[in-house]
Amino acid sequence: MRMRKLCAFLTCLPLVLNSCQPMKEGTVYAPAVDNSLRAPAYPLVTIDPYTSAWSFADKLNENVVQHWTGKEHSLTGAVRVDDKSYRFLGNEKKETTDEALFRLAATQTAAVVMPTQTFYTFECGGIRLDVIFTAPFLMDDLDVMASPYNYITYQVRAIDGKSHEVQIYLEATPQWAVHTESQKVIFGKVEKEGLVYLKTGTEEQAVLGKKGDDVRIDWGYFYLAGKKSDEIKMNLGDSISSNMQQQMTVLSYMDNLGKVSSKHRSGYLLIGYDDLYSIQYFGENLLPYWKRDGKTDVYAAYSKGFRSYADIMERCSQWDAQLMKDAVEAGGQKYAELCALAYRQAIAAHKLVTDKEGNLLFLSKENFSNGSIGTVDVTYPSAPLFLLYNPELLKGMLNPIFYFSESGKWKKPFPAHDVGTYPLANGQTYGGDMPVEECGNMLILTAAVATMEGNADYAARHWDVLTTWADYLLKEGLDPANQLCTDDFAGHFAHNANLSVKAIEGIACYGKLAEMLGKKEIASQYTDTAHEMASKWIKMADDGDHYRLAFDKPGTWSQKYNLIWDRMLGLNIFPKDIAEKELAYYLTKQNVYGLPLDNREDYTKSDWILWTACLTDSAEHFDALMQRVWKYVDETPSRVPMSDWYFTSTAKQRGFQARSVVGGYFMRLLQHELMHR
User: Could you read off the pLDDT of 533-542 as tens digits, one per residue?
Assistant: 999 999 999 9
Split at pLDDT 50, 70, 90, the class of 34 is confident
Whether 540 is covered by a domain: the verdict is: yes
Torsion of CA 243, 249, 250, 251, to 10 degrees: -150
Amino acid 14: pLDDT: 36
pLDDT in tens, 419-467: 999 999 999 999 999 999 999 999 999 999 999 999 999 999 999 999 9
- 629 in a domain, yes or no? yes
In the predicted model, is pLDDT for residue 98 greater than 90? no
**pLDDT at residue 23 greater than cutoff 60:** no
The CA radius of gyration of the chain, in Å to the nearest whole number, is 26
Query: Can you give the pLDDT at residue 677?
Result: 83
Give a yes or no: residue 82 inside a domain.
Answer: yes
Per-residue pLDDT of 291-331, as tens digits, reads: 999 999 999 999 999 999 999 999 999 999 999 999 999 99
- At residue 478, the pLDDT reads 98
Going by pLDDT thresholds of 50, 70 and 90, the confidence category of residue 485 is: confident
**Residue 484 pLDDT grade (very low, low, confident, very high; cuts 50, 70, 90):** confident
Residues 6+ apart with CB under 8 A from 230: 16, 19
| Phi-psi map region of 117: left, alpha, beta (phi>0 left; psi -120 to 50 alpha) | beta
Q: Is the pLDDT of residue 412 over 70?
A: yes
pLDDT category of residue 17 using cuts at 50, 70 and 90: very low
- Percent pLDDT > 70 in the chain is 93
SS3 171: strand
In a domain, 335, yes or no: no
What is the average pLDDT across 228-256? Answer: 78
Supply the mean pLDDT for the chain.
93
The parent domain of residue 271 ranges over: 3-173+232-277+285-315
Residue 32 has pLDDT above 90, yes or no: no
pLDDT for residue 93: 57
Domain assignment of residue 340, yes or no? no
* Segment 593-624, tens digit of pLDDT: 999 999 999 999 999 999 999 999 899 999 99
CA–CA gap between residue 383 and residue 417 (Å, rounded)? 16
Half-sphere exposure of 676 (CA within 13 A, CB side): 10
- Assess whether 270 and 373 both reside in one domain: no
Look at residue 657 and tell me whether its pLDDT is greater than 60: yes
Q: Indicate whether 530 and 638 sit together in one domain.
A: yes
* Residue 189: inside a domain: no
Q: Residue 550: phi, psi to the nearest 5? A: -135, 145
pLDDT band at 245 (very low <50, low <70, confident <90, very high): very low
- List the single range of 85-99, 136-150, 550-564, 658-672 with lowest mean pLDDT: 85-99
DSSP state of 429: -
Q: 230 falls in which pLDDT band (50, 70, 90)?
A: very high
CATH number of the domain encompassing residue 408: 1.50.10.10
Domain co-membership, 551 together with 666? yes
Give the pLDDT confidence score for residue 10 in this predicted structure.
41
Are 635 and 574 part of one and the same domain?
A: yes
Give DSSP secondary structure letters for 625-648: HHHHHHHHHHH-S--SS--SEEET
Average pLDDT of span 397-406: 98
pLDDT at 488: 78
Whether 606 maps to a domain, the answer reads yes
- Same domain flag for 543 and 394: yes
Tell whether the model's pLDDT for residue 2 goes beyond 80: no
- Do 307 and 416 share a domain, yes or no? no
Express each pLDDT in 142-165 by its tens digit.
999 999 999 999 999 999 999 999
**Is pLDDT of 676 > 50?**
yes
Minimum mean pLDDT range among 24-28, 266-270, 502-506, 661-665: 24-28
Quick one: 501 and 638 in the same domain? Answer: yes
Is residue 280's pLDDT more than 70?
Answer: yes
Residues 6+ apart with CB under 8 A from 172: 74, 75, 76, 222, 224, 250, 251, 271
Does residue 270 sit in the same domain as residue 375?
no
pLDDT more than 90, % of the chain: 89
> What confidence score (pLDDT) does residue 49 get?
98
Residues 310 and 358 in one domain: no
| CA separation for the pair 616, 623 (Å, rounded) | 12
* CA-wise closest residue to 172 among 244, 80, 252: 252
Q: What is the pLDDT of residue 675?
A: 86
Contact 90, 64 (CB under 8 A): yes
Q: Residue 107 forms beta bridges with which residues?
A: 123
219 in any annotated domain: no
Note the pLDDT of residue 143. Answer: 98
Count of structural domains, the chain: 2
Q: Do both 362 and 237 map to the same domain?
A: no
254 and 397 part of one domain? no
Cα 354 from Cα 560, distance rounded (Å): 36
Based on the fold, state whether residues 17 and 136 are members of the same structural domain.
Answer: yes
Work out the pLDDT band at 92, boundaries 50, 70, 90.
Answer: confident
